[in-house]
Chains A and B, each alone.
Chain A
Amino acid sequence: MAQPQMRKPVEYFLDNKKFLHPKLAANYGNWKYHDRPRPGVLHHVSNTGDEVWTVRAGTQRQMDVHTIRLLCDIADQYAEGRVRFTIRSNIEYIVSDEAKVGPLIEALEKNGFPVGGTGNSVSMVAHTQGWLHCDIPGTDASGVVKSMMDALFEDFKKEEMPNRVRLSTSCCEINCGGQADIAVIIQHTKPPKINHDLVANVCERPAVVARCPVAAIRPALVNGKPSLEVDEKKCVCCGACYPPCPPMQINDPEHSKLAIWVGGKNSNARSKPSFHKLVAAGLPNNPPRWPEVNAIVKKILDTYKADARPWERMADWIERIGWPRFFEKTGLPFTKYMIDDWRGSRYNLNASNHVRF
């Protein structure tokens, strides 16, 4: 049968100039300073004297076309037809007239889009895909985030934290959600269960063996068929073997638990960028609202809010008060699982007489 004529893709990458708000295009690279007249609003002033106001609102990230059209209607009516999205899936409207800010905020909030996420607020959670779309998720992402943002709604709308708070969630240890002031990540706690009948057919066994970070996987003959075996004492339950070998079932509705990490920071301001660190684990994977996780996130945030000084990020605050006091103040137990034993772990140990009481 003759192949239908296929269209060849046009390969190129865009210039963004045509999408910029005209005032942004006119003042490109020529901005002087900004301030924040109220939470959710940025006011930028150019060296030419031009001014723009940006109104930031939260979205659910995974949006249906009706929601996007509604956001477009708002942009066309109140905001000169231009928008941009932030790395945390907030939408930003840019207007060139201060008088347009009030009505725009009103229209957004009336339609259910909270205005906030600027300055010292808790911004929308960077998140991954979860049960909705990924092939290896231990939990959902959009649902965890929805319930977290419901709980942190006021903290999104107000700028009352000591400094910016950035959250992320990830639905497996690969952690596509990334580093954050507070990160919620699901962890497998049991080695993979192997469906030996399928291994020979679907797995590229040398690739799976090579993928394991602790060399826990060995080729083996099981019931006369070539398969794999896992040294369960060595296995760190990372799940890396699952993508190249789906019969190595790692997800487990009961034994996949959520963990909470704090103190990650990507900015270079004050201290260098840092990774988040483990402060709680073993939390149940409890849809649809994950209350146990939210309670701890809230507790950490409340403690940070009460105790940190202005401009201290979560990492800066903990650096000042020290980890023993972090655990004391948040009431979270420090367990042996928090003592690093992976590569380079000695750099995380205390080689000094610096002790906190």
Chain B
Amino acid sequence: MAKQLHPTPMLDQLESGPWPSFVTGLKRLAKDKDYVVDLLGHLEHSYETRKGYWKGGTVGVFGYGGGVIPRFTEIKDEKTGQPVFKDAAEFHTLRIMPPPGMHYDTATLRKFCDIWEKYGSGLIALHGQSGDIMFQGCTTENVQPAWDEINEMGFDMGGAGPAVRTAMSCVGAARCEQSCYDEALAHQKIINNFLDDIHRPALPYKFKFKFSGCGNDCMNAIQRADMAVIGTWRDNMKTDDELGKKWFAKHGMNELINDVVNMCPTRALQVKDTKDVRKDAHISAVAINDTQSLEIDNKDCVRCMHCINVMTGALGPGKDKGATILVGGHGHLKIGATLGTVVVPFMDLKTEEDYDKLVELAQNIVDFFAENALEHERTGEMIERIGLVNFLEGIGLDPDANMVNCPRSNPYVRTDGWDEEVARINAKKKAAA
């Protein structure tokens, strides 16, 4: 039996309504934890006064410089200076990296519960927006033993502070027909390469990797990752006539025109009589009935995924698969939010060596970031400050027309290196041919 609950009239209102309530969960924990009784009091105080009362500090585990988010209460008794909610005066969080795709067996989850019931508040967030399993609420004293047990289970701590951060990958190849590479493998190889940079923060600021298997970008990588790996393909879309006809029988011509053809952003689709479908290496087509087909000009397709999403199975990503790499997505601060920019339009991701090349590229990018970003500057901000060309030269990538929406429109540029640059590019083209 724990001590008596503080009155929480405001939080109580969050127990009504049909959605599962975190307050009910906290109250269940409070039945045998003084820690959570005081946590509820602490939170209710925030609701009453509309202010937050946690301040940071430094708490860590042996061997690592980051991964624990320390929190100390600021609600103190005016006279004594003592914490008002003394049992919850410390409320630290352990960030733990999830397996790629966030798959679990129940034995693992139950073990997490046992450990966190023993050492922590009993509150676990699956997951934080950064991807981590957030073991929320622990005293300084219990951080190390809780961590030891979690680590012995085979889980490692995530990043915090100016470090490589915990990465995220979509369900991808494990259960998604749109997947264009092995997201989990890429995730695993890259993270294993950067463990030191995750655990011992020494970068100018945070650096995030995210892995999505296709342009649907379920992991929000283009917006939120410093390096986004987005699956794509180079050859013709896969088609399946049987599923195409099945789709059409169910949805009909109006939906085909309005929802598929009309919504292709590059007008790569046309409805044709099957006999009139163009014969060309980059044209593919899917039958919709015995006489008509949907024709796809794959040279015009930008792999946006729309038609594939609508006609799943009838259309699918091609066989020549890999990824587009974008750099510099991040949230607010200095220059406002930025999206990632294409730096590698296509990278093969088929063989083990291809994945090693991805790791190599990641290492080059992080090294350049470490050396050239200002303190507290994300990659997106750095690239805006120095210009994309300097960044590309820094990591040894050639410019490509896929990196821009359009060429420069302002005339303020020195072009005195023009001839050499043209000669260099032409020589390179010739060597590759």
The chain A residues found within 8 Å of chain B, CB to CB, are 6-16, 18-21, 24-25, 28-29, 31-35, 44-45, 52, 54, 58-69, 71-72, 75-76, 81-87, 89, 91, 94, 112-114, 126-140, 142-143, 146-147, 149-150, 153, 171, 173-179, 207, 210-211, 213, 238, 240, 246, 251, 253-254, 256, 264, 266-271, 273, 275, 285, 287-289, 309-311, 342-343
From the candidates A44, A240, A289, name the one contacting B13 in the complex (CB within 8 A).
Answer: A289
Stretch at the interface among B16-24, B79-87, B270-278: B16-24
A114 touches B18 (CB 8 A): yes
From the candidates B14, B50, B122, B130, name the one contacting A285 in the complex (CB within 8 A).
Answer: B50
**23 examples of A-B residue contacts, CB within 8 angstroms:** A6-B63, A16-B188, A20-B103, A31-B176, A62-B25, A66-B25, A66-B28, A68-B124, A82-B103, A84-B101, A84-B171, A85-B102, A87-B168, A94-B175, A114-B20, A133-B137, A135-B52, A135-B56, A135-B71, A174-B331, A253-B50, A256-B50, A289-B13
Which residues of the other chain, A, contact B26 by a CB distance below 8 angstroms? 64
B28 touches A64 (CB 8 A): yes
B222 closest partner in A (C-beta): A273
Q: How far is the CA of A140 from the CA of B174 in the complex (A)?
A: 35
* Extra inter-chain contacts (10) besides given A29-B182, A179-B337, A273-B222, CB under 8 Å: A9-B62, A15-B184, A16-B188, A68-B109, A69-B110, A146-B23, A179-B220, A211-B376, A270-B306, A275-B339
A65 touches B122 (CB 8 A): yes
B223 within 8 A of A: yes
B25 touches A24 (CB 8 A): no
Q: How far is the CA of A139 from the CA of B114 in the complex (A)?
A: 31
B51 touches A251 (CB 8 A): yes
Which residues of the other chain, B, contact A62 by a CB distance below 8 angstroms? 22, 25, 123-125, 136
A64 closest partner in B (C-beta): B25
Q: How far is the CA of A304 from the CA of B305 in the complex (A)?
A: 22
Q: How far is the CA of A147 from the CA of B22 in the complex (A)?
A: 11
A11 touches B195 (CB 8 A): yes
From the candidates A29, A60, A87, name the one contacting B22 in the complex (CB within 8 A).
Answer: A60
Q: How far is the CA of A268 from the CA of B220 in the complex (A)?
A: 10
Q: How far is the CA of A179 from the CA of B332 in the complex (A)?
A: 11
Name the interface size band of chain B.
Answer: 35 or more
- A-B pairs, top 5 by smallest CB distance, nearest first, are A33-B313, A150-B17, A64-B25, A253-B50, A268-B215
Which residues of the other chain, A, contact B191 by a CB distance below 8 angstroms? 13
Which residues of the other chain, A, contact B382 by a CB distance below 8 angstroms? none
Stretch at the interface among B154-162, B390-398, B412-420: B154-162
The winner among A28, A67, A114 for most chain B CB atoms within 10 A is: A67
The winner among A138, A207, A246, A270 for most chain B CB atoms within 10 A is: A270
Given known pairs A12-B156, A146-B19, the reply for A288 and B13 (CB within 8 Å) is yes
Q: Quote the shortest CB–CB distance from B222 to chain A (angstroms).
A: 5
B151 within 8 A of A: yes
Q: How far is the CA of A11 from the CA of B164 in the complex (A)?
A: 14
From the candidates A8, A81, A113, A176, name the one contacting B62 in the complex (CB within 8 A).
Answer: A8
A82 touches B104 (CB 8 A): yes
Q: How far is the CA of A271 from the CA of B381 in the complex (A)?
A: 24
Q: How far is the CA of A142 from the CA of B134 in the complex (A)?
A: 14
B18 touches A19 (CB 8 A): no
Q: How far is the CA of A342 from the CA of B222 in the complex (A)?
A: 22
A253 touches B49 (CB 8 A): yes
B99 touches A19 (CB 8 A): yes
From the candidates B29, B52, B62, B220, name the one contacting A87 in the complex (CB within 8 A).
Answer: B220
Stretch at the interface among B258-266, B286-294, B351-359: B258-266
Which residues of the other chain, A, contact B52 by a CB distance below 8 angstroms? 130-131, 134-138, 171, 251
Which residues of the other chain, A, contact B16 by a CB distance below 8 angstroms? 150
B361 within 8 A of A: no
Q: Quote the shortest CB–CB distance from A352 to chain B (angstroms).
A: 16
What is the 8 Å Cβ interface bit string for chain B, positions 242-273, against chain A (1 contact, 0 not)? 01000000000001001100011100000000
Q: How far is the CA of A204 from the CA of B45 in the complex (A)?
A: 30
Which residues of the other chain, A, contact B126 by a CB distance below 8 angstroms? 59, 61, 63, 68, 85, 89, 91
A9 touches B102 (CB 8 A): no
From the candidates A7, A251, A269, A310, name the one contacting B215 in the complex (CB within 8 A).
Answer: A269
Which residues of the other chain, A, contact B316 by a CB distance below 8 angstroms? 32-33
B129 within 8 A of A: yes
B99 touches A14 (CB 8 A): yes
Q: How far is the CA of A253 from the CA of B179 in the complex (A)?
A: 46
Which residues of the other chain, A, contact B195 by a CB distance below 8 angstroms? 11-13
B312 closest partner in A (C-beta): A33
The winner among A6, A7, A179, A288 for most chain B CB atoms within 10 A is: A288
Which residues of the other chain, B, contact A54 by a CB distance below 8 angstroms? 175
Q: How far is the CA of A134 from the CA of B195 in the complex (A)?
A: 25
B9 closest partner in A (C-beta): A288
Q: How far is the CA of A213 from the CA of B384 in the complex (A)?
A: 14
B109 touches A83 (CB 8 A): yes
Q: How far is the CA of A131 from the CA of B14 in the complex (A)?
A: 14
Q: Quote the shortest CB–CB distance from B92 to chain A (angstroms).
A: 9
Which residues of the other chain, B, contact A179 by a CB distance below 8 angstroms? 220, 223, 337
Which residues of the other chain, A, contact B148 by a CB distance below 8 angstroms? 7
B124 touches A146 (CB 8 A): no
Given known pairs A44-B175, A68-B113, A343-B335, the reply for A12 and B47 (CB within 8 Å) is no
Which residues of the other chain, B, contact A82 by a CB distance below 8 angstroms? 103-106
B305 touches A288 (CB 8 A): no
Which residues of the other chain, A, contact B174 by a CB distance below 8 angstroms? 16, 20, 24-25, 28
From the candidates A64, A71, A267, name the one contacting B305 in the complex (CB within 8 A).
Answer: A267
A6 touches B11 (CB 8 A): no
B217 within 8 A of A: yes
Given known pairs A65-B124, A178-B224, the reply for A270 and B22 (CB within 8 Å) is no
The winner among B28, B174, B199, B255 for most chain A CB atoms within 10 A is: B174
Q: Quote the shortest CB–CB distance from B13 to chain A (angstroms).
A: 5
A287 touches B188 (CB 8 A): no
Given known pairs A69-B113, A288-B10, the reply for A16 and B168 (CB within 8 Å) is no
Which residues of the other chain, A, contact B123 by a CB distance below 8 angstroms? 62-64
From the candidates B17, B151, B216, B243, name the one contacting A147 in the complex (CB within 8 A).
Answer: B17
B59 within 8 A of A: no
Which residues of the other chain, A, contact B98 by a CB distance below 8 angstroms? 85
Which residues of the other chain, A, contact B221 by a CB distance below 8 angstroms? 266
Q: How far is the CA of A65 from the CA of B130 in the complex (A)?
A: 21
Which residues of the other chain, B, contact A251 by a CB distance below 8 angstroms? 51-52
Which residues of the other chain, A, contact B386 by a CB distance below 8 angstroms? none
Given known pairs A69-B113, A269-B304, A288-B14, the reply for A63 and B22 (CB within 8 Å) is yes
